[in-house]
Amino acid sequence: MEWNWDHAYAVLPQLLKGLVITIEATIVASLIAYILGLAIAILKMSKSKVTRVSLYWITEFVRRTPILVQLYVVFYVLPDFGIFLEAFTCGVIVLGVHFSTYTSEVFRAGIENVSKGQWEAAKSLNYNPYQAWKHVILPQAIPPMIPPLANYLITMFKETPLLAFITVVELFRAADQYSNSYYTYLEPMTLVGAFFLIVSIPSAMLAMKLEKKYKQVKVA
C-alpha cells in the first residue's frame, strides 16, 4: 500500500471541519468538567454526611464505568424514556460529567491545601461563605491546580473520538466516513493521528511548563 496524495488532499477539508468540532467539544466538555468538579469538591466538604456519602458513590459510579457505555446510555437509551439530546450535546455532557469526577479531586486537594489560618482570616474580616470562597480560598487554591487541570484537558481532547460512536462528526468520524466511502484508510487515519499530535504535543508542553511554574507554589 502506497501513500496517495490525491486522497490526502481530498480528505483534508473534511478533517479540518472535524478538527474544529473536536476542539469545540473539548472546550465545552472541559468547562462542564471544571465547573461541576468545583461544585462537587465544595459539596463534598459539606457538614451533611448524607450529601458527602451520596456524592462519593455517585462520583465513584461515574468514574468506574466506561465513557462509551455512558454515551450509549444517554444517547440511545434515554430516548426510550422521552429524553432526547442532540449528539454533540450528549457527547459534551457525558465527557464533562465523567471528567468532573476527576477534576473534583484536583479541586478538593487544592482547597484542602489552603491552611486553616486563611479561613480564620476570612472570618475575622466578616466575610460570608461566598465572599470567603471568592476572595480568599479559591484565589490561593487554584494556581497549584492549573497543571493537573491542563492535563485533564488534553486527556479529554484525546477521548473525543468516542463521540464518533454517537454520530458526532468529529475528527475521527470525518476520516472514517471518507475511508468507508473510498475504501482507503492509510491517508485519512494517518492525518487524524497527525492532527492529534499537532494539537496535543504543544498542549502537553504548555502543561509541563505550567507544572514547572506552579509546582513550587505553596499556600501559607
Sign of the alpha-carbon dihedral angle for 100, 103, 105, 109: negative
Mind listing the pLDDT tens digit for each residue in 156-165?
999 999 999 9
Supply the pLDDT for residue 71.
97
Rounded Cα distance between 134 and 96, Å, is: 23
CATH T-level assignment (fold) for domain 5-214: MetI-like fold (1.10.3720)
Mean pLDDT value of segment 94-102: 97
Q: What is the DSSP string of 89-154?
A: HHHHHHHHHHHHHHHHHHHHHHHHTS-HHHHHHHHHTT--HHHHIIIIIHHHHHHHHHHHHHHHHH
The model's pTM is 0.88
Mind listing the pLDDT tens digit for each residue in 151-203?
999 999 999 999 999 999 999 999 999 999 999 999 999 999 999 999 999 98
Q: Which of 38-42, 79-83, 144-148 has the lowest mean pLDDT?
A: 144-148
